């Protein structure tokens, strides 16, 4: 009974924080599916990553807030529907409600067949930007979770090196803790510019952070 009571208290506290979160309220007002849109918005405004005419890949896209933001940034006057100047290909192992102008692939990014479908959706054209909000289901066992997180980041990095334009950029979510410095080093080995970013929209108590790599080094490995 004590465990259940504690759980109810934790859930109630989380729900109260969520309901009163200014980014949750703003997302509801502006029609975004999740507050996560404002994390990408802040990163984009800081680094100037998204421009009309781009081809963008959104990894770990569901429920679609990042794709919504990208779609508005690539549209005349920031429209949520209608004309789109660019291409967005989104992928997630969870289903995602359609977003006008966004090509969605449902599948596990860790599977070669799904990666092949993603490459096919690009039609052989290189991407200008790859963004990844992917995260594994965490077990609470630090060493195991760090390995899962690192694997997803490394997959995103390998995909970016194989499919980005030379001046393209990659943004990934990762977590401070075991393995962070090694992943940051991988980025520095492959990109000319690397920026760690903790957006204001990312909850302060969360260990999540983001790394942006811009401009592939000439000798970056193509895996």
Q: How far apart are CA 80 and CA 70, in angstroms?
A: 10
Q: How far apart are CA 75 and CA 82, in angstroms?
A: 8
115 DSSP 8-state letter:
H
Listed residue (195, 187, 199, 192) closest to 212, CA to CA = 195
Q: Which residues of 64-97 are buried (b: 16+ CB within 10 A; e: fewer)?
A: bbbbbbbbbbbbeeeeeeeebebbbbbbbeeebe
218 DSSP 8-state letter:
T
217 is catalytic: no
Catalytic residue among 173, 188, 198, 222: 173
The secondary structure of 172-185 as a DSSP string is EEEESSTTHHHHHH
3-state secondary structure of 149: helix
Q: Which residues are catalytic?
A: 173
């Amino acid at each position: 009974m004590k465990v259940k009571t504690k759980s109810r208290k934790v859930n109630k506290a989380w729900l109260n924080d969520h309901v009163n979160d200014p980014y949750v309220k703003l997302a509801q007002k502006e029609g975004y599916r999740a507050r996560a849109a404002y994390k990408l918005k802040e990163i984009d405004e800081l680094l100037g990553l998204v421009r009309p005419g781009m081809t963008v890949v959104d990894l770990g896209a569901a429920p679609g807030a990042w794709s919504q933001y990208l779609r508005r940034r690539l549209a005349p006057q920031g429209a949520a529907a209608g004309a789109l100047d660019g291409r967005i290909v989104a992928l997630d192992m969870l289903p995602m409600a359609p977003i006008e102008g966004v090509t969605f692939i449902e599948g596990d990014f860790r599977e070669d067949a799904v990666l092949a479908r993603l490459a096919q959706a690009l039609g052989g054209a290189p991407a200008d930007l790859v963004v990844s909000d992917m995260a594994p289901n965490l077990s609470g066992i630090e060493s195991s979770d760090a390995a899962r997180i690192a694997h997803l980041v490394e997959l995103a990095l390998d995909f970016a090196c194989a499919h980005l334009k030379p001046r393209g950029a990659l943004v990934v979510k990762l977590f401070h803790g075991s393995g962070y410095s090694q992943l940051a080093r991988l980025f520095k080995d492959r990109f000319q510019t690397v920026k760690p970013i903790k957006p204001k929209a990312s909850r302060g108590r969360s260990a999540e952070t983001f790394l942006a790599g811009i401009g592939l080094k000439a000798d970056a490995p193509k895996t």
